[in-house]
């Protein structure tokens, strides 16, 4: 189990030294490259910049938008006094991140809030499965599935840190082979198949299905089971925290730490061509593969540009934020014990909704991921009032308005919800992409996490490009989506290891 209190402390232990991908420690000083630019200030761009700065490189982060942070931004979207997370809201991955845990983020203003439970999954008739941080308490509520749940989850949840280190890394020989094999066995089946084989109750099946939907894959897809376990294990191994004051505080802490190392962040600077940047500098791109093709112009060999252009994106999201006059009136009060609530009913209903998004169809009862930040962080709304955040998956680039469908799903498990709404804000795929060019067609994970694109994204070369000194470091590289910064961390280390002592210039 990762001790939340260690956020900001050095992580003990280390992967084998020397290989480009296996670094797991906090040491710096891998090379002495003198100048670098990072394009994009999402969690991966900032982690990459910090790793470079820790190695003594002078780094400038260039960000297209007026506010830095990418998927970590928080903004006033509805009424004065209400703070809404534009993208990411819940942070088991950031709290577990080997990179972020190396940095003194607490000293730079980051405070995690851990709700008592990680996620709730209400079902019709007032029932509710609750993923508490304690595995035994969670299992106790799952009836005849309790012992199976405990047997599957306990051994790995207690080793969550080991799971994280081997899963949230590019392909490598596992540092913890026993733990990794156990995780691999559990993850060998698609989520829907695994849930049906392991569990008998609607509660346990639905709880696991809800976890697996974070993959943004159909629950019959091979990799969906692995995502289900990662989310389940993180729910017990670290908990699902939010940042006091908003996800922006994570970005602000990263930026503050970067500045303390001599780095700088320039906002309102969209890079349209690599020619704009000082020649000879290292360049790490926290951008979508197709943006890299565009800004590199003729620098990339044609075969490589073609590969990047073929990179596959998954469904998009339709997102809503609400200002509420009161807490959400959940039918089952267990839903108030957690910030994250999975709304979509049974495994069958959820699987149907996720398949539709992949088929390019609108679903009238979509699976909805809802977060109620102000329930645990009173700084998000004026006294007595609340915020809520939710999204559902929709076909990539869809322009359907899903407001009615999302609100109907909330109302289904919280009758009277609509009467609490003071104001609402909606963003479909086009608006999401307009606020962040990396969200191609509304895809929030940097590209589909299909087996083919899971470990070798955007393809075999991963971080390195055929152009010396030019690297990709966004969620379109391993280990993929999520606000963990591990793509940037590994990309920077590969870049530094590839750079001869003395630097590029």
What is the binding site for ligand FAD (CB under 6 A)?
A: 39-45, 62-65, 70-71, 87-91, 93, 270-271, 286-287, 291, 295, 317, 319, 391, 432, 436-439, 444-446, 474-475, 481-483, 487
**Residue holding tokens 């999204």?**
391
Q: How far is the CB of 359 from ligand FAD (least distance, A)?
A: 21
Nearest one of 324, 328, 327 to 412, comparing CA atoms = 328
Taking the complex as a whole, how short is the minimal distance between the CB of residue 410 and ligand FAD, in angstroms? 16
Kindly state the smallest distance separating residue 125's Cβ from ligand FAD, in Å.
28
**DSSP per-residue string spanning 275-294:** GGSPTT-EEEE-S-HHHHHH
Cα dist from 120 to 285, 413, 470, whole Å: 37, 11, 43
Minimal distance, residue 441 CB to ligand FAD, in Å? 12
CA 410 to chain centre: 23
Nearer of residues 68 and 152 to ligand FAD, judged by Cβ = 68
Shortest Cβ 384–ligand FAD spacing (Å)? 25
Burial of 57 (0-12, 13-18, 19+ CB in 10 A): buried
Minimum gap (Å) between residue 296 Cβ and ligand FAD = 11
Q: Which is nearer to ligand FAD, 141 or 380 (CB)?
A: 380
Specify the DSSP class assigned to residue 464.
B
Nearer to ligand FAD by C-beta: 124 or 276?
276
- Bridge-partner residues for 426, per DSSP? 320
Judge contact between 432 and 439, C-beta under 8 A.
yes
Cis peptide before 213 (omega within 30 of 0): no
Of the pair 54, 393, the CB lying nearest ligand FAD is at: 393
CA terminus-to-terminus distance, the chain = 43
- Residue 487 CB, nearest approach to ligand FAD (Å): 6
Q: Phi/psi class of residue 70: alpha, beta or left (left: φ > 0; alpha: ψ in -120 to 50)?
A: left
What is the rounded distance in angstroms from the CA atom of residue 475 to the CA atom of residue 454? Answer: 11
* Closest CB to ligand FAD among residues 152, 492: 492
User: What distances in angstroms separate CA 196 from CA 151, 226, 491, one per listed residue?
Assistant: 16, 15, 38
* Residue pair 179/163 in contact by the 8 Å Cβ criterion: yes
Q: Which two tokens stand for residue 51?
A: 């790793």
Q: Report the nearest approach of ligand FAD to the CB of residue 144 (Å).
A: 32
Backbone angles phi, psi at 464, to 5 degrees: -75, 145
If the CB atoms of residues 40 and 226 are measured against ligand FAD, the closer one turns out to be 40
Shortest distance (Å) from residue 438 CB to ligand FAD: 4
Of 71 and 226, which CB lies nearer to ligand FAD in the complex structure?
A: 71
Q: How many CB atoms lie within 10 A of CB 280?
A: 13
Could you write out the three-class secondary structure of 361-416?
CCCCCCCEEEECHHHCCHHHCCCCCEEEEEEEEECCCCCCCCHHHHHHHHHHHCCC
- Nearest distance from residue 174's CB to ligand FAD, in Å? 23
Residue closer to ligand FAD, measured from CB, 152 or 207: 207
Dist. CA 341–CA 282, nearest whole Å:
42
> What string of H, E and C letters represents the secondary structure of 86-107?
CCCCCCHHHHHCHHHHHCCCCC
Residues 6+ apart with CB under 8 A from 493: 20, 21, 23, 30, 51
Q: Closer CB to ligand FAD, residue 189 or residue 402?
A: 402
Give dist(CA 395, CA 103) in Å, integer.
37
The smaller minimum CB distance to ligand FAD, of residues 199 and 489, is found at: 489
Nearest approach, Cβ of residue 439 and ligand FAD (Å): 5
Q: Residue 84 or 141: which CB sits closer to ligand FAD?
A: 84
Q: How far is the CB of 250 from ligand FAD (least distance, A)?
A: 10
Q: Which is nearer to ligand FAD, 221 or 295 (CB)?
A: 295
């Amino acid at each position: 189990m990762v001790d939340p209190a260690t956020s900001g402390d050095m992580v003990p232990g280390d992967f084998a030294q020397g290989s480009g991908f296996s670094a797991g420690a906090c040491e710096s000083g891998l090379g002495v490259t003198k100048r670098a630019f990072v394009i994009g200030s999402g969690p991966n761009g900032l982690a990459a910049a910090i790793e470079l700065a820790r190695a003594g490189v002078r780094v400038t982060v260039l960000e297209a938008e007026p506010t830095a942070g990418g998927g970590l931004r928080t903004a006033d979207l509805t009424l004065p006094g209400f703070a809404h997370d534009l993208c990411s809201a819940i942070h088991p991955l950031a709290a577990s991140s080997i990179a972020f845990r190396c940095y003194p983020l607490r000293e730079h203003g980051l405070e995690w809030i851990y709700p008592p439970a990680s996620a709730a999954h209400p079902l019709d008739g007032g029932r509710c499965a609750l993923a508490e941080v304690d595995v035994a308490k969670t299992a106790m509520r799952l009836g005849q599935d309790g012992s199976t749940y405990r047997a599957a989850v306990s051994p790995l949840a207690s080793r969550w840190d080991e799971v994280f280190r081997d899963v949230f890394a590019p392909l490598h020989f596992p540092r913890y082979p026993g733990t990794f094999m156990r995780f691999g066995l559990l993850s060998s089946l698609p989520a829907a198949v695994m849930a049906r084989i392991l569990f008998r109750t609607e509660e346990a099946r639905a709880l696991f299905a809800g976890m697996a939907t974070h993959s943004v894959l159909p629950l019959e897809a091979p990799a969906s089971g692995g995502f289900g376990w990662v989310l389940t294990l993180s729910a017990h191994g670290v908990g699902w925290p939010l940042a006091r004051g908003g996800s922006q505080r994570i970005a602000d802490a990263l930026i503050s730490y970067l500045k303390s190392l001599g780095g700088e962040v320039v906002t309102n600077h969209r890079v349209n061509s690599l020619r704009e940047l000082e020649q000879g500098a290292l360049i790490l791109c926290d951008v979508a593969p197709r943006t890299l093709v565009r800004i590199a112009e003729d620098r990339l060999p044609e075969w490589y540009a073609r590969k990047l252009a073929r990179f596959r994106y998954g469904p998009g999201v339709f997102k809503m934020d609400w200002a509420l006059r009161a807490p959400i009136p959940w039918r089952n009060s267990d839903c108030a014990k957690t910030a994250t609530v999975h709304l979509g009913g049974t495994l069958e209903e959820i699987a149907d909704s996720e398949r539709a998004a992949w088929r390019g169809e609108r679903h009238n009862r979509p699976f909805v991921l809802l977060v109620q930040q102000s329930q645990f962080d009173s700084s998000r709304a004026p006294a007595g009032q609340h915020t809520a955040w939710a999204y559902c998956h929709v076909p990539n680039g869809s322009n359907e308005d899903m407001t009615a469908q999302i609100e109907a799903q909330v109302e289904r498990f919280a009758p009277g919800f609509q009467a609490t709404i003071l104001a609402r804000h909606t963003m479909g795929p086009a608006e999401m992409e307009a606020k962040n060019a990396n969200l191609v067609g509304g895809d929030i994970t940097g590209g589909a996490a299909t087996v083919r694109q899971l470990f070798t994204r955007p393809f075999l070369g991963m971080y390195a490009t055929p152009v010396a000194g030019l690297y990709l470091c966004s969620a379109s590289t391993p280990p993929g989506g999520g606000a963990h910064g591990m793509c940037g961390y590994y990309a920077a280390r590969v870049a530094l290891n590839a750079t001869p002592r003395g630097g590029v210039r």
